[in-house]
Amino acid sequence: MIVDFAIFPIGEGESLSSFVADAFKIIEESGLPYEHHSMGTNLEGDWDEVMSVIKACRDRMLEQSNRVSIAIKIDDRQGAKDRIRRKVASAKAKMNEPISPLK
């Protein structure tokens, strides 16, 4: 499955990049395929793999902040692999096709 998540502390001021940096370290050390973007990070793996990375980011942030907000979006498609690299490419390829007919 592929998961987009964003995590940040509430009540630790307006600038959050040092908290995000801590999360990046945990994500990048996990070994899972990842894609950082300006509103979160996408991770690919099975349920337990991905959720243990998110939980590690949350546990770390709760050491430094009393309140943490997390948003997670999951796209779980059986039998699909390597989607973190292929989803955008797949839609891009369709853009060269003629406009899809209206229903």
As measured in angstroms, the least distance from the Cβ of 49 to a copy of itself is 13
Question: Segment 31-60, which members bind a copy of itself (CB under 8 A)?
Answer: 35-40, 42, 47, 51, 55, 58
Helix (H, G, I), strand (E, B) or coil at 50: helix
Q: d(Cα 68, Cα 65) in Å, to the nearest integer? A: 7
Question: Segment 65-84, which members bind a copy of itself (CB under 8 A)?
Answer: 65-79, 83-84
Contacts 24+ apart (CB under 8 A), 27-34: 27/53, 27/57, 30/56, 33/82, 33/84, 33/85, 34/84
**Contact footprint for a copy of itself (CB under 8 A):** 2-4, 6, 8, 10-18, 20-22, 24-25, 35-40, 42, 47, 51, 55, 58, 62-79, 83-88, 90-95, 97, 99-100, 102-103
